[in-house]
Amino acid sequence: MIHRIVKMEFDPEKIEEFLSNFEANKKKIRAFDGCYKLQLLQDQHNTNIFFTYSYWVDEESLESYRNSELFKGVWAKTKVLFNAKPVAWSTEILSSE
């Protein structure tokens, strides 16, 4: 399983626009083939920093999503709101209690 973490930093005045776009698309992303879970997190101290944390069956499923029209539409509306370059990691759990 792939755990995808994406850090995004937004212009403070554009946060509501981001949240609205996320809200409008989260069910579609969660229903995408190969996606087990999608979470949105917000930094407690820097409230213009958000993270998406998603669980994917495998790298192929994640790449299928990243090449989909759904992703292209969501990303087009999201990337114009950034005030810093996003950073993404694909991870896997090595140990869990």
What is the pLDDT, as a whole number, of residue 97? 79
CATH entry 3.30.70.100 includes domain 2-91 = yes
What is the pLDDT, as a whole number, of residue 70? 97
Phi, psi of 68 (to 5 degrees): -85, 160
- How many angstroms separate the CA atoms of 30 and 13, rounded? 27
What is the pLDDT, as a whole number, of residue 10? 97
How confident is the model over 12-69, as pLDDT tens digits? 999 999 999 999 999 999 999 999 999 999 999 999 999 999 999 999 999 999 999 9
DSSP letter for each residue of 47-81: TTEEEEEEEESSHHHHHHHHTSHHHHHHHHHHHTT
- Domain-wise residue ranges, the chain: 2-91
- The answer on pLDDT for 96 being more than 90 is no
pTM, two decimal places: 0.92
**Closest CA relative to residue 10, chosen from 65, 78, 68:** 78
